[in-house]
Amino acid sequence: MSLNETLLPQEAQKEHENESNNNAIQAQLVTIDLEKSSALPFSQNETKEEEKHEMKREEKQKEETWYDTWNWLGNTIVSYADYWGETFADFFGMTQSRYQHLIDAYEMKLKLQHEREKDNEIMEKYAKENFMSQSPSRPQEPSHSA
């Protein structure tokens, strides 16, 4: 109420009652915080802050320029192209080494050769242990004397 306004005593009394009723109603408003399971007094400051945040969000949405739109669109297109390019390259085998089959064949050849060498060593060791110890001594050949 401005200073220039003058109120009759009855009107002043009614306005004073209305203000006290509003204060009583505000004091009775309570919010329930479900996480803490307690009742907290509801203040108008919280609603004003929430309104300010909502207004800022709306302003940000309104402030988007054509540059922001084209930037978003360009980034979206590039990300989709990158994803699909990787997918098709993998599907058609473009991500594999061109000579990988030759490398694999060479490694397999070396592995087989190494296994054969091990098998030969084992067989020679087995043969020395079993056959050499069991073989009868050779008879001596007669010497030719003249």
**pLDDT for the residue 65:** 84
144 exposed, middle or buried (CB, 10 Å; 0-12, 13-18, 19+)? Answer: exposed
Per-residue pLDDT of the chain (146 residues), as tens digits, is: 444 455 456 666 666 666 665 555 554 444 554 555 544 555 555 677 788 888 888 777 777 788 888 999 999 999 999 999 999 999 998 888 889 889 999 999 999 999 999 999 999 988 888 876 665 555 566 666 65
* Centroid of chain to Cα 10: 69
**pLDDT for the residue 64:** 75
What the block records as the tokens of 117 is 């060498």
Type of residue at 84:
W
**pLDDT for the residue 59:** 75
- Any residues with CB less than 8 A from the CB of 97 and at least 6 apart, and which? 103
**pLDDT for the residue 74:** 97
Q: How far apart are CA 71 and CA 65, in angstroms?
A: 10
In terms of pTM, does the model score above 0.75?
no
**pLDDT for the residue 4:** 47
